[in-house]
Chain A
Amino acid sequence: MGIESENKEIEKNLRDIARNLLQEKKVDAILGYSKGTAPLSTSPIIIRHIDEVNKLIWNNLCYMNLAKYLVPRIPQLKSPKGEDLKIGIIAKGCVGRALIHLNVEKQLNLDNIKIIGISCNGIVNRKRIEREIGEKEIFEVSTSENNIMIKGKDFEKKFSFDEYINELCKVCKVKSPPKDSELEDIFIGESREMKSIDDDFSDLKEFESKSPEEKWQYIKELLEPCIRCYACREACPMCYCNLCFVDQNKPIWFGKTTDLSDIIIFHLVRAMHLAGRCVACGACSSVCPMGIDLNMITRKLEKLVKERFNFTSGLNSKFLPPMMAYNMEDDEEFMLEEN
């Protein structure tokens, strides 16, 4: 089946399931994606009435991680009386991982959540395509066979699907939400229980073999355009702190300016806070207005916890994330020792 027909099939099933859930009052609202009005965009949507179900779509531009809307910091999903709504959430693999991990961190009340799992075959790298199209206006985006077709004002361009999806999607091993005993779910397509993933992180080998100076130059060039809009932080389902570390001002730890050192510190500390928690959904890179691709950092975070603690976030509710635990037998090869 081509990508387009797969998507259409998933979309049809999605709408049927959403309709059933709303009809049988099993959920109060459905959280999904709807068609975007700007090029290369889709818009998350909260559907409360059954006649709006046809607004739900599924395609390769659904880059937002919907689990963000379920964390306690976002109070939208409450009834007028202030009670939690029962939500049906449309979950591709990384959204499912985020939900499981949020459950482990006790941020969700799972009784109110039903996961509609779907198998995702990759999200289009919208910032890369925008950069390559340059100063031309894009009107229509579609997928056909193995290509992404971009139609715009006076031009048409084809991109290879396998090459122009997000870097994280290229190496993704969790395409549909992992099955977990604590989550009640309805699946379309496949779902399987996963204890761990098989990944050799060969895409990081080249970067890790660089000298510290080269790495610093690369990171500097990568992060320089940052304007500190915090879209990456807001799009990330794991960034749910009531007071983010950059906003602390009694005392001020790290600057909020756009000085290069402040920018690098922000991304370094944010990466540190996401060690063992990041689910590699790529939303941070997809929403960045300046087109900064944080995939390297994300991959490093996954590699770090896999190699040191044999842990991958969001696969199973039973395993504790590494930063919430400790072990006498941890590796300590980095410690300074007498010769």
Chain B
Amino acid sequence: MDQKILMKNEIGKLYIELAEEYNFYAPVINKGNLIYNKILNPDEIILDFYNSKIPPKEILFPKMETLFEYKTDGKNIEEIIERKDLDEYNIIFGIRPCDAQAFMLMENFFALGDIKDNLFLKKKENTVLIGIGCNIPKSTCFCTSVNGHPFKSDYLDIFMIDLGEKYLVEGISDKGKNMLEKLTWLSKSTKADIQKGEELSKKAEESFKTKLDVKDIEKILEQSFDHPIWTEISDICMGCGICSFLCPTCTCFDVIDENDQYNNRGRRIRIWDTCQFCLYTLHTSGHNPRDSSIERCRNRILHKFCYYPKNYDMLGCVGCGRCIQLCPVNNDLRKIIEKVNKIKEEEKVNA
């Protein structure tokens, strides 16, 4: 399909046309933080940004989500009310390729096994992802090291390249192509535009400051479960939830029943949870297999770099760098991977 051009000053027009049918989510600044939020006014959209603070997973997998509600008559349950908004259509505008890859990882997770998570999958099916490539990756980004690329369009529906005053737009999936066909007012692209896009892609790829060696990481991690390195890696971790809550691929959640007895109603909700909380693996017997930060830190690294490749053939990390920037004690993932890789070298020397 031919690539089209969307002028930056036409985004308002795009919004007006699409907002009737779709819930339009775009990057906005809310109390000083850049997040993805449903917008009511296209002027709110921020186009000049690296990446959001809270990953866009928040839109399809919110911090707090109602699974179902129920009404009682004081003693017995009268009625169970299911979710009605799963058939709504959504657009997430301005998503980055790393976050789109994360959505694919999340989809794999929620679709695995006999019991599928219909809440997430149904919403994802009804969502169009419009992504923008990263012309200038941040110094803490490392998507090229984990099978990503700042201009990777594989997991997007529509992919746009920022050419300055305009975007070069390409439909990737059928969903995306269908949507672009309806937007007949988009201008045609020229060969110069396409070439500039390719140049930007190459420039971005070469500008990465962080490069991680994750070639053998799955095997090293598998064999070093009891290695003393984990004590060193985890000694300053405090056990808060920042790295997992703000990770675009983390999917753990806790299910809570809330009872509003005075109003004869209740609901079951799910909220974000993290393996870094000290009570995450507390059994009802009182035993806690992950009793200290050593086991919990180790679990997080193994989950992303060992268990994910085993179960899904994809690395569980997309290289967005949020955990590196926001960790309160600066427990840098890059240093951790370096230390883990050194285990292999040590063993070679000792052998």
Contacts and interface: CB of A to CB of B under 8 A. Distances in A.
A231 B326 CA distance: 11
A230 B330 contact: no
Contacts of B309: none
A248 to B, nearest CB: 10
A44 B245 contact: no
Contacts, number: 116
A200 B210 CA distance: 50
Interface in B11-56: 30-34, 46, 48-50, 53-54
B331 interface: yes
A37 B34 contact: no
A324 interface: no
Given A43-B330, A257-B256, A231 B269 contact: no
A42, A73, A227 — which one has the most chain B CB atoms within 10 A of its CB? A227
Given A235-B240, A247-B279, A64 B235 contact: no
Interface string B225-258: 0000001001110111110011000000010101
B67 interface: no
Contacts of A76: 231, 234-235, 292-293
B81 interface: no
Given A235-B240, A289-B326, A259 B332 contact: no
16 contacts: A37-B324, A76-B231, A76-B234, A131-B32, A137-B139, A225-B31, A227-B245, A227-B272, A228-B241, A229-B241, A230-B240, A230-B277, A247-B277, A255-B258, A289-B242, A290-B33
Given A224-B31, A252-B256, A258-B63, 10 more contacts: A38-B324, A43-B331, A44-B329, A45-B236, A69-B236, A229-B245, A234-B238, A256-B271, A286-B328, A289-B242
Interface in A11-70: 36-39, 41-46, 64, 68-69
Given A135-B46, A256-B256, A37 B236 contact: no
B240 A227 contact: no
Interface of A: 36-39, 41-46, 64, 68-69, 73-76, 131, 135, 137, 139, 153, 221, 224-225, 227-231, 233-235, 243, 247, 252, 255-259, 286-287, 289-291
A134 B29 CA distance: 10
B138 interface: yes
Given A137-B139, A235-B240, A38 B327 contact: yes
Contacts of B293: 74, 76
B256 A289 contact: no
Contact of A231 (B46, B240, B332): B240
B242 A44 contact: no
A280 B139 CA distance: 34
Contacts of B139: 137, 139
B278, B330, B334 — which one has the most chain A CB atoms within 10 A of its CB? B330
Contacts of A257: 63-64, 256, 258, 269, 271
Nearest to B65: A257
Contacts of A252: 256
B279 A291 contact: no
Contacts of B330: 36-38, 41-43
Nearest to A153: B136
